[in-house]
């Protein structure tokens, strides 16, 4: 049977997975609300589908599902729209992936967390994610896997663009530490899970090297041969509410499970080799 992935909310991370699956003969269907994105999907070899859609129809012939759609105040939109359709499709679904966030752990004052740590998010966004994870995991018979992604970066998304535009900030907040993950490593984790399904399992997806955000900006500036932006205390930094909310959590995220259970060897185990590779790729293209 042909392997077919239905990617709901086919964004940056899901597109990384599609790049790995399409050369292997997979059929990938990607949904979006935006017409310009649907046109791009077609160019990438992905079957475009406007969201919201008839999920019962969309799931015909589908073997795998990945959802990247964020929850809202009323819960998970996919569950709201298509819970029954997913239940009906469950017998022929081999794997379902839900992309969540390490924000579900809340603030640990720079301490380490793993998949067994309590979920105590301080933000509304984090609380919605916890509820959405549970909505998916509670669907009987659906082979759901949850992936808690750290801060995502990759080509076109990261510190280089901000530095070049002059909008990067070196925000200083005592004991602030983030974990990160490159989009290529997200893709390989998802593919490894598809090849070794374990329904109900939760995986942290991050690199080995949590660091304060200002350290990353400083190193990116060094690679570009630029002066780093001046240090700004967190309290004085001009930031959107969304950006500011990221600073409410400080933690280091463990990734042993993706290595021990899925056999993943990170392509980018730390931000330095990732930024070097991204810059080299830019120069070659």
Q: Return per-residue pLDDT of the chain as tens, 285 residues.
A: 689 999 999 999 999 999 999 999 999 999 999 999 999 999 999 999 999 999 999 999 999 999 999 999 999 999 999 999 999 999 999 999 999 999 999 999 999 999 999 999 989 999 999 999 999 999 999 999 999 999 999 998 889 989 999 999 999 999 999 999 999 999 999 999 999 999 999 999 999 999 999 999 999 999 999 999 999 999 999 888 888 888 989 999 999 999 999 999 999 999 999 999 999 999 998
**Domain map (residue ranges) of the chain:** 4-152+181-207+253-268
In this prediction, residue 80 carries a pLDDT of: 97
In this prediction, residue 158 carries a pLDDT of: 87
In this prediction, residue 1 carries a pLDDT of: 66
Contact 269, 210 (CB under 8 A): no
Q: What is the CATH number of domain 4-152+181-207+253-268?
A: 3.40.50.720
In this prediction, residue 247 carries a pLDDT of: 92
In this prediction, residue 81 carries a pLDDT of: 96
Contact 163, 217 (CB under 8 A): yes
In this prediction, residue 242 carries a pLDDT of: 82
pTM of the model: 0.97
């Amino acid at each position: 049977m042909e392997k077919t992935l239905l990617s709901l909310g086919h964004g940056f991370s899901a597109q990384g997975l599609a790049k790995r699956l399409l050369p292997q003969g997979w059929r990938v269907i990607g949904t979006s609300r935006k017409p310009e994105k649907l046109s791009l999907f077609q160019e990438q070899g992905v079957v475009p589908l406007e969201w919201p859609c008839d999920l019962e129809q969309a799931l015909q012939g589908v073997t795998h599902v990945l959802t990247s759609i964020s929850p809202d105040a009323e819960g998970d939109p996919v569950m709201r729209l298509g819970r029954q359709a997913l239940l009906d499709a469950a017998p022929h679904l081999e794997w379902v992936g839900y992309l969540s966030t390490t924000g579900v752990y809340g603030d640990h004052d720079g301490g380490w967390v793993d998949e067994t740590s309590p979920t105590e998010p301080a933000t509304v966004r984090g609380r919605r994610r916890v509820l959405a994870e549970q909505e998916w995991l509670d669907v009987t018979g659906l082979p759901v896997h949850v992936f808690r992604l750290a801060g995502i970066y990759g080509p076109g998304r990261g510190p280089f663009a901000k530095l070049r535009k002059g909008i990067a900030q070196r925000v200083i907040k005592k004991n602030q530490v983030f974990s990160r993950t490159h989009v290529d490593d997200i893709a390989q984790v998802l593919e490894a899970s598809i090849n070794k399904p374990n329904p109900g399992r939760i995986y942290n997806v991050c690199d080995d090297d949590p660091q304060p955000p200002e350290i990353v900006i400083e190193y990116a500036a060094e690679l570009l041969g630029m002066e780093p932006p001046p240090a700004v205390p967190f309290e004085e930094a001009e930031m959107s509410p969304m950006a500011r909310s990221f600073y409410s959590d400080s933690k280091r995220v463990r990734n042993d499970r993706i290595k021990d259970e899925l056999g993943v060897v990170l392509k980018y185990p730390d931000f330095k080799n990732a930024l070097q590779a991204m810059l080299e790729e830019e120069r070659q293209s």
